[in-house]
């Protein structure tokens, strides 16, 4: 009854293999929380910047002004702003070649799709790490538990009389590994599902913007030979939202 069953004492009294498993799980958990906080603030920043750019896009500002602002703010702009800049840049290049409206819009759409893929890759970075932590950590903890129980029973084989008091410390030390594995896995699962939902919503918004902007470019591509045809505003083209 005088056994100390605090977490610290159990970890210190565990076998070397179990201690290594616990150290690995704690390191993974720390890395997971670092990714969670970075991903949370990164997605939130992308969402707020996307909201701001959409508001500017539909406020009546000319496409040329929006494009110049996107080019000047390329390093610190929103993902949607960079997608817009890619499409507008390709549209202006192809327009100088006197291509037909279909070729102009298709080229701009392909450029925006490529830019969207790059932005999604950046937004989804390290998300697979959370998925790996969520799926693997419980098994790593279970390995530590099995090894610890095996080690405890091997030690008990030399005793003449085995009681619950002699078995309990070894079993408790082993079960700590499972607890730490779940401690690492559960937040990773919750965060992964939360971030995956937000990223899907951003992807849907990007898809919708690409289609809407392609319609705008299609209307502007028809009179492309006219002077200053690319300077008209979105509001003038469709009316402000």
Would 160 be classed as within a structural domain?
no
The predicted model scores a pTM of 0.77
* Domain membership flag for residue 12: no
Nearest CA to 135 among 182, 85, 68, 203? 182
**7 within some domain:** no
For residue 225, being part of any structural domain is answered with yes
**Cα 241 to Cα 56, 173, 213, 235, 237, distances in angstroms:** 11, 63, 14, 8, 11
CA distance 170 to 188: 29
In a domain, residue 170? The reply is no
Q: Residue 49 is part of which domain span?
A: 30-142+184-238
- For the stretch 22-70, pLDDT in tens is 889 999 999 999 999 999 999 999 999 999 999 988 887 788 888 888 8
- Domain for residue 5, yes or no? no
Q: Give domain status of residue 93, yes or no.
A: yes
Residue 73: band (very low, low, confident or very high) from pLDDT cuts 50, 70, 90: confident
Domains of the chain: total: 1
Q: Mean per-residue pLDDT for 152-171?
A: 63
The per-residue DSSP string of 168-181 comes to HHHHHHHHHHHHHH
Is there a contact between 67 and 222 (Cβ–Cβ < 8 Å)?
no
User: What is the SS3 assignment for 148?
Assistant: helix
63 is a domain residue: yes
pLDDT per residue as tens digits for the range 88-111: 999 988 888 777 788 888 999 999
């Amino acid at each position: 009854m005088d056994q100390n069953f605090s977490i610290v004492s159990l970890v210190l009294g565990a076998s070397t293999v179990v201690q290594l498993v616990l150290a690995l799980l704690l390191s993974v958990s720390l890395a997971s929380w670092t990714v969670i906080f970075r991903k949370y603030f990164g997605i939130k920043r992308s969402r707020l910047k996307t909201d701001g750019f959409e508001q500017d896009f539909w406020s009546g500002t000319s496409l040329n002004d929006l494009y110049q602002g996107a080019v000047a703010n390329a390093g610190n702009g929103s993902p949607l702003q960079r997608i817009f800049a890619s499409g507008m840049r390709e549209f202006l290049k192809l327009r100088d070649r006197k291509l037909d409206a279909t070729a102009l819009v298709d080229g701009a759409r392909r450029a925006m799709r490529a830019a969207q893929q790059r932005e999604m890759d950046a937004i989804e970075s390290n998300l697979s790490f959370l998925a790996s932590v969520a799926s693997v950590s419980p098994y790593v903890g279970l390995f530590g538990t099995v090894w610890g129980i095996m080690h405890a029973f091997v030690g008990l084989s030399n005793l003449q009389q085995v009681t619950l008091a002699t078995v309990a410390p070894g079993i408790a030390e082993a079960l700590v590994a499972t607890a730490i594995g779940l401690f690492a896995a559960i937040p990773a699962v919750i965060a992964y599902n939360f971030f995956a939902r937000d990223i899907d919503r951003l992807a849907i918004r990007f898809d919708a913007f690409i289609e809407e902007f392609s319609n705008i470019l299609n209307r502007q591509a028809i009179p492309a030979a006219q002077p200053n045809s690319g300077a008209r505003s979105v509001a003038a083209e469709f009316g402000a939202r």
